């Protein structure tokens, strides 16, 4: 019987559990491991399916990095995808690496380089009393792919949308086009709308990352409310991101926030270094800004910085038992929606 240690973690409400000590996984890089685990599915099913998981759960596996600059590497497993990057999951992983003494915690600041499937990211953790107070992520280069393009839909008419990359690919929509406020009571409505929008957007608009040839589709749908100015004079933006097969990100979504920063910069609605508060559907927040920008692949590329906090809520030892009748777990569509996005 194989015993596997897992820490239960959330970042701004979004679960991002962290698996440590799974030493029998030998990959040349997190990217290679991400592709292999997605193709095989057995470990994804073990961690994410019932009775050990559920559609609400994300899981990260610590692996050896390939980049000599990296302090650690990890693979991100979400309900239907192994994405190249995730902001909330990176904050969860950083918190576990430091608070559980897998990597050395320095006071008051610990700087790490982590290798995700999409590349190398820098994280800066503010530490106090053996705890990680917050984590700032210098994210992967982000960009707008198509701006202000018309999308024809069957049920919602013709709407203006944008596509962007912030560590994964996004369809960006205005919530007001659907007469919805980003509040918990509208969670199911956003998921229902996103099903049609993502299907139509992948057929009509599409997406192709300039260097990641396998990222040739739009992964997520982000709904946004207008940017406002809070009482401290800071820009604030509320959003919610629909994740396949049909759930909302409980956090403000680090990659989604990065994609929105790229759109704001392209439209000259934010300055380099100007901070913005990104707020989720449950009210949790990230602080974000653009570190720098450049022109690559005929696109305006920005380097987003996302800051948030994660909390370890528990730890588990999972048993991989050969006699278990459900070694791969199971899914029922009473809680795990059918994946009909595209």
Which residues have C-beta within 8 Å of that of residue 142, sequence separation ≥ 6? Answer: 164, 165, 166, 167, 258, 259, 261, 262, 301, 302, 303, 304
Alpha-carbon distance of 137 to 181, in angstroms, equals 29
On whether residue 174 sits in a domain, the answer given is: yes
Q: Identify whether 338 is part of a domain.
A: no
Rounded Cα–Cα distance for residues 326 and 342 (Å): 28
Q: Could you tell me the CATH number of the domain that includes residue 273?
A: 3.10.310.10
Judgement on whether residues 162 and 20 belong to the same structural domain of the protein = no
- 172 within a domain of the structure (yes/no): yes
Q: How many domains does the chain have?
A: 2
Residues 261 and 165 in one domain: yes
Whether the CB-CB separation of 126 and 108 falls below 8 Å is answered with yes
Do residues 74 and 157 both lie within one domain?
no
Count CB atoms within 10 A of the CB of residue 102.
Answer: 16
Residue 334 inside a domain? The answer is no
117 domain residue, yes or no = yes
Taking alpha carbons only, the member of 16, 15, 46, 112 closest to residue 73 is 112
Active-site annotation holds for 86: yes
Residue 279, domain extent: 143-307
Taking only the tens of pLDDT, the chain with its 342 residues reads 999 999 999 999 999 999 998 988 999 999 999 999 999 999 999 999 999 999 999 999 999 999 999 999 999 999 999 999 999 999 999 999 999 999 999 999 999 999 999 999 999 999 999 999 999 999 999 999 999 999 999 999 999 999 999 999 999 999 999 999 999 999 999 999 999 999 999 999 999 999 999 999 999 999 999 999 999 999 999 999 999 999 999 999 999 999 999 999 999 999 999 999 999 999 999 999 999 999 999 999 999 999 999 999 999 999 999 999 999 999 999 999 987 776
Indicate the pTM of the whole model.
Answer: 0.98
Pair 202, 292 in one domain:
yes
**Residue 48: strand, helix, or coil:** helix
Asked whether residue 95 is assigned to any structural domain, the reply reads: yes
The residue from 29, 86, 169, 284 that is catalytic is 86
Do 20 and 92 lie in one domain? The reply is: yes
Is 66 in the same domain as 172?
A: no
Same domain as 209, residue 129: no
Residues 109 and 151 in one domain: no
Task: Check whether residue 162 and residue 82 sit in a common domain.
Answer: no
The answer to the question of residue 103 being in a domain is yes
Same domain, 315 and 194: no
**194 φ, ψ to 5°?**
-60, -30
């Amino acid at each position: 019987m194989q015993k596997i240690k897992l820490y239960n973690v959330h970042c701004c409400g979004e679960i991002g559990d962290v698996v440590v000590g799974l030493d029998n996984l030998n990959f040349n890089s997190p990217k290679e491991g991400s592709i292999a685990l997605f193709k095989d599915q057995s470990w994804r099913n073990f961690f994410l399916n019932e009775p050990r998981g559920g559609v609400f759960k994300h899981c990260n596996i610590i692996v050896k990095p390939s980049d000599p600059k990296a302090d650690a590497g990890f693979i991100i497993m979400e309900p239907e995808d192994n994405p190249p990057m995730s902001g909330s999951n990176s904050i969860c992983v950083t918190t576990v690496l430091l608070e559980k003494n897998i990597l050395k915690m320095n006071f008051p600041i610990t700087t790490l380089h982590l290798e995700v499937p999409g590349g190398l990211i820098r994280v800066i953790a503010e530490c106090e009393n053996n705890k990680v107070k917050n984590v700032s992520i210098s994210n992967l280069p982000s960009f707008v792919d198509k701006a202000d393009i018309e999308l024809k839909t069957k049920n919602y008419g013709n709407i203006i949308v944008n596509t962007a990359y912030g560590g994964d690919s996004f369809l960006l929509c205005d919530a007001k086009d659907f007469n919805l406020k980003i509040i918990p009571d509208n969670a199911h409505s956003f998921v229902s709308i996103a099903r049609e929008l993502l299907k139509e957007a992948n057929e009509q608009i599409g997406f192709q990352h300039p260097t990641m040839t396998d990222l040739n589709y739009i992964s997520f749908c982000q709904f946004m409310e207008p940017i406002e100015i809070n009482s401290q004079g800071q820009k604030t933006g509320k959003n919610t991101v629909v994740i396949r097969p049909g759930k909302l990100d409980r956090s403000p979504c680090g990659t989604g926030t990065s994609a929105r920063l790229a759109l704001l910069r392209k439209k000259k609605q934010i300055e380099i270094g100007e901070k913005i508060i990104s707020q989720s559907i449950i009210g949790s927040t990230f602080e974000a800004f653009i570190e720098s920008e450049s022109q690559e692949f005929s696109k305006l590329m920005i380097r987003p910085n996302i800051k948030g906090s994660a909390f370890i809520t528990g730890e588990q030892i999972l048993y991989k038992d050969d006699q278990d009748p459900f070694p791969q777990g199971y899914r029922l569509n009473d809680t795990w929606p059918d994946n009909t996005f595209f």
